[in-house]
Chain A
Amino acid sequence: MLRIRDASVTFPASDGQDVHALDHVTLDIAPASIVVAVGASGCGKSTLLNAIAGFLPLSEGTITLDGREIVAPGGDRGVVFQKDTLLPWASVLDNVALGLKYRGVSRGERHERSRHLLELVGLADFAEKPPYELSGGMRQRVGIARALATDPKILLMDEPFGALDSLTRETMQQLLASVWAQTGKQILFITHSIEEALTLGTTIVVMSPRPGRIVARFDADFVRDFAENGDIGPIQSDPRFIELRQEIRSLIHQPEAARTGTLQ
């Protein structure tokens, strides 16, 4: 269980006015749930992820993972970045095995586990390739496999499919849903796409900028259906999906209305 309590992140700005990137956010991420944070640029969703990953210190509040406070990056939180961060000098297999290598797992064992993960993401035939010979979508799959290799407690995904074309993106969403169904990982997923949030989230938190905070949260379970059937069409034409999409859209476009409670 990941617990975020009153977390704030403040940056000093050049004009002396502090920027409240994250303002008293409280959120729980339970095992086997996918929490999707959705919002416009600057709403603090990436700041939230970076704080959980340990890349950014909190100005106030606490984040704990299974009772242990987060103070630095660590192998118990796997991160998938928007821009892939694979090592160009290592093969796809060695990239996936990197975290296991850091833990001192023997070469044979880490290669075996990495091959298994590459199968999971459908890249078994590409193990020996250098990452720069792969397409953007394939590299993100390697990134997911790499983050899963050390069996982290939580997967943090920062707009991982944001740079992909829409067809590849759909395939990747399907892949993530199936990986989630098979591994039962708790996942925090950041996106600015409302459809993606609804398709993948078991909980959707809507964030708004200046100061960055959570303005609403919804529960959804379209992802279970999606993981089972792999077809996005019927999900997106579900009346409940359309209704939620409209509601979230108004929240993002009129955060003031949300704060005064007229949309609740």
Chain B
Amino acid sequence: MTLAANSPTSFPPATTQRRPSFRPRRSASTKTLGISLVTLAALVALWFLAAQFGWASPLFLPSPADVLTQFGVVAADGYANGTLLDHTLASLGRIAAALGVGIFVGIPLGLLMGLNRWIRGIFSVPIDLYWGLPPLAYLPLLIIWLGIGETSKIVLLSLSTFAPICFAAQAGVRSVPVERINAALSLGASRLQLFTSIILPSALPEILTGLKIAIGAGLSTLVAAELIAAQSGLGYMIMSAANFLATDVVFVGLIIIAVLAFAFTSGMRWLEQRLIPWKGKL
């Protein structure tokens, strides 16, 4: 009856009946990449022409050359109490701190909320209540409570990144197919093994989706908060430049933010391909 003592003959191996896999071909994405690059080039060319032929005043639309020059000036000499690198690092530092809080508090709490009815019942109400508010609406309150310094901004950003990550982790746990759990239990999994080998990896796609949403929410809250109340950061630099009608510096700030946002999106896509290549299959 034991398995070791058997199988003088084996079942004939399967070789031919492979199912074709329906993965999108790589060429499809490179095709759109080419189109996108042409669009980008056309936009820059249009910008160049508009500035060159004076379709709009430089006050509203500085030329690409001016923006490039200003880029060098701001990078080297600085603008509004800091170089471009200082402002970028200030902004990145805030969003990194907020994402850290979102990940290290939001994921464990979300997982627990998915697993336990009591924890879900206790925490879902306060999170639902504040998550419905626009972050800038309660920024003044945070400033009254915590002062104008870094703390209030990092708390604000942390609140905006925490909720989507926490909800995603909870949804990830709740979405594990019951058959997968039953299968693991009938293979003898303990509760801890069930969590680490089944629930956590099953929840990973949802958690990464939550992280993407959190980065988007964090970035927009970050810049908005810096526009209102900060002494450093890209949002602060843009606001200071706007006050002096230095439109070229505003453009520099916007381009940096766009590049950062693009880098975050690409980074997340890379992370998804590395961590969950199986997403949507099976």
Q: Residues of A at under 8 Å CB distance from B?
A: 31-32, 53-55, 72-75, 77-79, 81, 83-89, 98-99, 101-103, 113, 116-117, 119-126, 130-138, 141, 146-148, 150-151, 156, 168, 175, 178-179, 182-185
Contact = CB atoms under 8 A, between A and B. Distances in A.
B190 interface: yes
A74 B185 CA distance: 6
A175 B187 contact: no
A85 B198 CA distance: 11
B18 interface: yes
A85 B183 contact: yes
B18 A133 contact: yes
Interface stretch (B3-11, B95-103, B104-112, B121-129): B3-11
Given A87-B180, A102-B193, A79 B186 contact: yes
Contacts, number: 126
Interface string B165-182: 000000000000101101
A-B CB proximity, top 7 nearest: A75-B188, A99-B187, A73-B185, A88-B278, A132-B281, A85-B183, A122-B11
A75 B187 CA distance: 5
What size tier do the contact residues of chain B reach?
Answer: 35 or more
A117 B281 CA distance: 25
Q: Do most interface residues of chain B lie in helix, strand or loop, or is the interface mixed?
A: loop
Contacts of A113: 3
A236 to B, nearest CB: 21
18 contacts: A31-B1, A54-B186, A72-B185, A75-B188, A87-B198, A88-B278, A89-B276, A98-B187, A113-B3, A119-B7, A122-B12, A122-B13, A130-B278, A132-B278, A132-B281, A137-B17, A150-B188, A184-B1
Nearest to A178: B11
Given A55-B185, A84-B282, A99-B187, 4 more contacts: A75-B188, A89-B278, A120-B7, A124-B13
Contact of B201 (A73, A89, A122, A141): A89
A120 B11 contact: yes
